[in-house]
Chains A and B, each alone.
Chain A
């Protein structure tokens, strides 16, 4: 019976489970879920592969946390939508990679309504700071300065796109799948960052100054992006990982082009050093990660054992 005055009838068409919005950011597709448990490629140490998944996953997880801080704080509604969207894409990448890492190390097998779901949450919420493998760039706050936000995003997305491009052919099917999807996502993130770098760099004197300051600050964390960890070095040989040092030429070329067009100067900031050779990839972080981890984990740890 169709009653045009019935306020609710017009909504019933969205109740189907195949509504694409049900899949939006809420779970994995069956394809990916199946791949989480794919066999480890020949000649690969599962511990190395798990560590590599954590590196790529933690970069995305910690960075989306920083981007989420912009919710209800962006300079314009279009930016609200865009920054949240970028955060959501990265959260999606993190979830698959953490699930893969969990599968490989036997984390979070028990409980959870959807098998792999428990692993991603065990790893996100119940590791301590020194167990996170992300690079320092993604943990840096921007203090809601849009110039710093765009500077971080420009560096991060340019680098991550270069990585993902190469990882599309990874011998690990989960990494390859994340890369194939992620290339499209991160290409948009980079494009967004480039467009804003141009606007801010070549906008007003004030925006030029702030964009340059943002880049000057972020540049200290660029060098770490090209540093190769032991796990990566071993996985490159097996065709699983990409050597981040290989992305340097491409990343620097893109950044140089963008900065020139945006009338900005390439910063001369000194790169941040390591602690006896250890950095984010080895679990040695800047002081900025602790508060992020505390906030991220606070509620889950208060209710350890609860399902949500």
Chain B
């Protein structure tokens, strides 16, 4: 390709862009891209980054109380990884012409969203394990295909993030294994936690395909590779044998193997709850955002000091 951006008309740029997508190649930050593609990516990457940051709270809740020093180390390292994921993702978003500060403002003013799963509380230590197993498991189903997303910086961030997520999932599952092999009280804690997290985990894949307006365009752009329902099915099929190995019951009376489909049939999540949580009336929405806002505001003087120091000493 010899043409530069200056002597190519927009329709040609669009054709080059589409040809890159069609050839399953990566779009890089300096490449021309349609405004809608850029906007979609910024929204998606920012939401993903915000989810990592808000997601530190429900598990961070247990760090100081973790019941063994080994579990404390694992949990602290995991929550630290989430901060790291937030950093890579904000950096990926920054290649699209926004900055972290601007995105953080949108998070704390509730003009950009984060994953609704984090609007549920963690009243039990078993929640640490179940979040690892189910929530990180669902996140992995959603995110692994993003390693092949058409936007290069996002895809590369996701490779690293997915490896760490899968590590977290195994650690969560390993905690649950220890608990189900423990006392009856510990076993009951695991089941109670699974009962609370199963349906919200299924909701993490988003609405049913018929109600997901953005999916079509995102798939055409190779941002998204599978539909919500495909990913949800994969997650259910993956989780059922894991639940059996743990000896826990997934709280869905309609869940059964369908030999004709070679997949599990399962019940419908309560979409009215999903809609309510997204709209802001989940059990912990207010608390999560207030916490983030408070931390950000408490840190303002520190960030100002760092900037003033850098200017004095540049």
Residues on A close to B: CB < 8 A? 4-5, 7-8, 10-11, 14-15, 19, 21-22, 24-27, 65, 68-69, 71-81, 84-85, 87-88, 91-92, 94-95, 98, 117, 120-121, 124-125, 144, 146, 198-200, 202-204, 206-207, 210, 295-296, 298-300, 303, 305-308
CB pair A72–B305 under 8 Å, yes or no, is no
CB pair B298–A144 under 8 Å, yes or no, is yes
Known: A203-B305, A207-B301. A295 touches B64 (CB 8 A): yes
B185 contact set on A, CB distance < 8 A = 303, 306
Known: A11-B163, A296-B65. A199 touches B305 (CB 8 A): yes
Known: A198-B309, A207-B304, A308-B71. A91 touches B76 (CB 8 A): yes
Stretch binding the partner chain, chosen from B7-15, B176-184, B259-267: B176-184
Q: Mark B289-309, 1 if CB is under 8 A from A, else 0.
A: 001000100111111111111
CB pair B76–A10 under 8 Å, yes or no, is no
CB pair A88–B179 under 8 Å, yes or no, is no
Option from B66, B69, B163, B301 in Cβ contact (under 8 Å) with A206: B301
B311 CB to closest chain A CB, in angstroms?
Answer: 10
Option from A27, A198, A303 in Cβ contact (under 8 Å) with B70: A27
CB pair B67–A299 under 8 Å, yes or no, is yes
B153 CB to closest chain A CB, in angstroms?
Answer: 17
CB pair A117–B309 under 8 Å, yes or no, is no
Query: With the chains together, A78 CA to B67 CA distance in Å?
Result: 28
CB pair B305–A80 under 8 Å, yes or no, is no
Known: A26-B74, A77-B83, A203-B305. A295 touches B69 (CB 8 A): no
Residues on B close to A: CB < 8 A? 53, 56-57, 60, 63-74, 76-77, 79-80, 83-84, 86-87, 90, 100, 125, 140-141, 144-145, 147-148, 159, 162-164, 166-167, 170-171, 175, 178-179, 182-183, 185-186, 225, 234, 291, 295, 298-309, 312-313
Known: A4-B148, A206-B304, A207-B301. A92 touches B67 (CB 8 A): no
B76 contact set on A, CB distance < 8 A = 25, 68, 71, 84, 87-88, 91
Query: With the chains together, A204 CA to B86 CA distance in Å?
Result: 28
Option from A81, A120, A298 in Cβ contact (under 8 Å) with B69: A120
Option from A92, A125, A210 in Cβ contact (under 8 Å) with B301: A210
Query: With the chains together, A200 CA to B312 CA distance in Å?
Result: 12
Known: A26-B70, A81-B87, A203-B309. 14 other contacts (CB 8 A): A14-B163, A15-B170, A21-B167, A27-B70, A68-B76, A76-B303, A80-B56, A121-B69, A199-B309, A203-B306, A206-B305, A303-B186, A307-B182, A308-B175
Q: List 24 A-B contacts (CB under 8 A).
A: A7-B140, A7-B234, A10-B144, A11-B144, A21-B164, A25-B73, A26-B70, A71-B80, A75-B300, A84-B80, A88-B77, A91-B72, A146-B298, A199-B305, A199-B309, A200-B302, A202-B309, A203-B306, A298-B65, A299-B67, A303-B183, A306-B182, A307-B178, A308-B68
